[in-house]
């Protein structure tokens, strides 16, 4: 640009320069864009104000502090029908996060499993996995959620079939009951000293990581190879067991028991949660399987061969050479799959799981009629969750990324 003689200065400023001179043109366009955009927004705002005045509506957030007046069947925090709409929304938000976290973890497990198996040299297994991936990728998640919900509510027995001398159904291991009202699992009973036990368990998990770090450092510094497998297991289990019996078994399990027509005790995971969790996990698992497969295939064959020629065993080739490189390719699409799970969890409304779309965007919206406020809050919530997930996953991604000099 510097080689072009500057005619503009010679003749003073001309209007045509606003379009033909690159120095001014960008400003011209942006000013025009701002004006057009501002005009459109002003029109929309004017319409909205007019419509609001006509319908005698206003924007107010006070409804959030009024009693909600409806029940929520899954309450992770204290809630009753006299609680406020804000509280109801919070319960919904926590329920959203519960199902999203559960589904993310299980989808990753399913996806990695299916993705690796799809590359297996066993013909029938890889074909089976392709069938799974194609079946789930090509049918809408809403249909899968409905199908799985119906399948579960028809396949699982009613609670009353567990009754009597010769019941039709039996609890699995005597602790888990699968009924068409949901799954009952045992819960922990904490007695005196249980805090110490849980603290020790937590510490032993930290201990495992510390030990692995130490072993790695020793390997890099001195070349001595410490065993990893059984010492980690020992660190994980032994201190917990010792403390458990020293303190006189402070933590017990409470199995669900049949009382009357229903189960009591234990934790009741509702069928809507189980179905939504399972459907999201298995649907997104199919997508993650494709990402994993693409990631592993992206590692060039030369890497495997080079590792083999160094004398590494197949397991170590996978762990030390292929996976670290494949992970770099897998993580970015994995982030967007996690985001998809969070967003798809809003389909809970189809099976009656009370997530934030069901409370704030459903019952609260219909009861109070404050559509704009509710939808805006709903969007804000999902936006914040999405941004938080991408923020943390990007940190992880940057940590894993190839450090180029």
Partner 1 sequence: MSDNTNNVSYVRTEFLDPSDPPEAVGGPVKWIRDNLFSSWFNSIMTLLALYFIVRIAVGVYPWFANGVWGTSGLAECREILDGATGACFSILQERWPQMVFGFYPSEEYWRPIVGLLLLAIAAAPVLFWTLPRKMLIFTGIYPFLAYWLVYGGTIIVPIMALVGLVAGYIAFNRVERAYGFFLGLVGGVVAALVVWWIGGLLSAAMPGLIALPEVTTRDVGGFMLNMILGTVCVSLSIPLGIVLALGRQSNLPIIKGFCVIFIEFIRGVPLITLLFVANVMLAYFFPAESNPDLILRVIIMITMFSAAYIAEVIRGGLAALPTGQYEAADSLGLDYTQATRLIIMPQALKISIPGIVNVAVGLFKDTTLVSVISMFDLVGIIRGPILGSTQWTGIYWEVFGFAALLFFVVCYGISQYSQWLERQLQTDHR
Q: Which is nearer to partner 1, 150 or 241 (CB)?
A: 150
Shortest gap between Cβ of 155 and partner 1 (angstroms)? 11
Using CB under 8 A as the binding rule, whether residue 58 contacts partner 1 is answered as no
Residue from 128, 208, 215, 393 in contact with partner 1 (CB under 8 A): 128
Q: Which is nearer to partner 1, 246 or 387 (CB)?
A: 387
Q: Which is nearer to partner 1, 103 or 177 (CB)?
A: 103
For the chain, the three-class secondary structure string (H helix, E strand, C coil) is CCCCCCHHHHCCCCCCHHHHCHHHHHHHHHHHHHHHHHHHHHHHHHHHHHHHHHHCCCCCCHHHHCECCCCCCCCCCCCCCCCEHHHHHHHHHHHHHHHHHHHHHHHHHHHHHHHHHHCCCCHHHHHHHHHHHHHHHCCCHHHHHHHHHHHHHHHCCCHHHHCCCCCCCCCECCCEEEECCEEEECEEEECCCHHHHHHHHHHHHHHHHHHHHHHHHHHHHHCCCCCCHHHHHHHHHHHHHHHHHHCCCCEEEECCEEECCEEECCEEEEHHHHHHHHHHHHHHHHHHHHHHHHHHHHCCHHHHHHHHHCCCCHHHHHHHHHHHHHHHHHHHHHHHHHHHHHHHHHHHHHCCCCCHHHHHHHHHHHHHCCHHHHHHHHHHHHHHHHHHHHHHHHHHHHHHCCCCC
Residue from 125, 242, 246, 253 in contact with partner 1 (CB under 8 A): 125
Residues 334-346: b if buried by 16+ CB within 10 A, e if exposed: bbebbbbbbebbb
Using CB under 8 A as the binding rule, whether residue 29 contacts partner 1 is answered as yes
Using CB under 8 A as the binding rule, whether residue 156 contacts partner 1 is answered as no
Using CB under 8 A as the binding rule, whether residue 284 contacts partner 1 is answered as no
Residue from 60, 80, 81, 120 in contact with partner 1 (CB under 8 A): 120
Residue from 97, 119, 142, 294 in contact with partner 1 (CB under 8 A): 142
Residues 6+ apart with CB under 8 A from 294: 329, 330, 333
Shortest gap between Cβ of 384 and partner 1 (angstroms)? 8
Residue from 62, 105, 109, 143 in contact with partner 1 (CB under 8 A): 143
Residue from 52, 61, 172, 209 in contact with partner 1 (CB under 8 A): 52
Using CB under 8 A as the binding rule, whether residue 343 contacts partner 1 is answered as yes
Q: Which is nearer to partner 1, 234 or 388 (CB)?
A: 388
Using CB under 8 A as the binding rule, whether residue 140 contacts partner 1 is answered as yes
Shortest gap between Cβ of 251 and partner 1 (angstroms)? 36
Residue from 105, 372, 395, 400 in contact with partner 1 (CB under 8 A): 372
Residue from 105, 147, 205, 226 in contact with partner 1 (CB under 8 A): 147
Number of residues that bind partner 1 (CB under 8 A): 55
Using CB under 8 A as the binding rule, whether residue 346 contacts partner 1 is answered as yes
Using CB under 8 A as the binding rule, whether residue 36 contacts partner 1 is answered as no
Q: Which is nearer to partner 1, 146 or 329 (CB)?
A: 146
Q: Which is nearer to partner 1, 158 or 386 (CB)?
A: 386
Using CB under 8 A as the binding rule, whether residue 122 contacts partner 1 is answered as yes
Please tell me the distance from the alpha carbon of residue 84 to that of residue 258, in angstroms, as a whole number: 34
Using CB under 8 A as the binding rule, whether residue 292 contacts partner 1 is answered as no
Return the range that interacts with partner 1 (CB under 8 A); candidates 48-56, 77-85, 206-214, 270-278: 48-56
Please tell me the distance from the alpha carbon of residue 278 to that of residue 79, in angstroms, as a whole number: 26
Residue from 6, 66, 71, 134 in contact with partner 1 (CB under 8 A): 134
Using CB under 8 A as the binding rule, whether residue 210 contacts partner 1 is answered as no
Residues in the site for partner 1, rule: CB under 8 A? Answer: 19, 26, 29-30, 33-34, 37, 44, 47-48, 50-52, 54, 117, 120-125, 128, 134-135, 137-144, 146-147, 150, 154, 339, 343-344, 346-347, 349-350, 357, 361, 365, 371-372, 375, 378-379, 382-383, 386-387
């Amino acid at each position: 640009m510097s080689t072009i003689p500057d005619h503009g200065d010679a003749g003073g400023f001309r209007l045509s320069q606003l379009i033909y001179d690159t120095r001014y043109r960008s400003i011209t366009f942006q000013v025009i864009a701002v004006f057009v955009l501002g005009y459109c927004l002003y029109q929309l705002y004017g319409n909205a104000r007019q419509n609001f005045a006509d319908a005698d509506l206003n924007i107010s957030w006070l409804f959030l502090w009024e009693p909600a007046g409806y029940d929520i069947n899954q309450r992770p925090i204290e809630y009753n029908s006299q609680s406020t709409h804000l509280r109801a929304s919070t319960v919904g938000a926590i329920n959203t996060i519960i199902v999203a976290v559960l589904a993310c973890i299980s989808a990753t497990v399913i996806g990695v499993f299916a993705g690796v198996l799809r590359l297996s040299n066993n013909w029938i297994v890889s074909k089976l996995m392709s069938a799974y991936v194609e079946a789930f990728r090509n049918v809408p998640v809403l249909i899968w959620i409905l199908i799985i919900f119906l399948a579960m509510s028809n396949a699982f027995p009613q609670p009353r079939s567990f009754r009597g001398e010769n019941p039709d159904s039996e609890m699995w291991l005597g602790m888990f009951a699968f009924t068409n009202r949901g799954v009952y699992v045992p819960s922990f009973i904490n007695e005196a000293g249980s805090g110490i036990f849980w603290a020790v368990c937590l510490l032993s998990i930290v201990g495992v990581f510390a030990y692995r770090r130490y072993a790695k450092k020793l390997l890099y510094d001195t070349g001595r190879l410490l065993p990893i497998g059984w010492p980690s297991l020992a660190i994980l289990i032994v201190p917990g067991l010792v403390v458990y019996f020293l303190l006189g078994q402070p933590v017990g399990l409470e199995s669900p028991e049949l009382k009357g027509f229903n189960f009591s005790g234990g934790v009741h995971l509702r069928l809507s949660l189980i179905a939504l969790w399972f459907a999201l996990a298995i649907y997104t698992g199919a997508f993650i399987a494709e990402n994993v497969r693409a990631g592993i295939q992206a590692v060039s064959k030369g890497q495997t061969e080079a590792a083999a020629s160094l004398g590494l065993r197949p397991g170590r080739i996978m762990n030390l050479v292929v996976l670290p490189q494949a992970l770099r390719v897998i993580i970015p699409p994995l982030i967007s799959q996690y985001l998809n799970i969070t967003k798809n969890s809003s389909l809970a409304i189809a099976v009656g799981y009370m997530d934030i779309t069901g409370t704030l965007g459903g019952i609260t919206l219909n009861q109070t009629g404050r559509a704009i406020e509710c939808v805006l809050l709903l969007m804000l919530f999902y936006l914040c969750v999405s941004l938080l997930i991408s923020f943390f996953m990007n940190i992880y991604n940057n940590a894993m990324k190839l450090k180029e000099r």
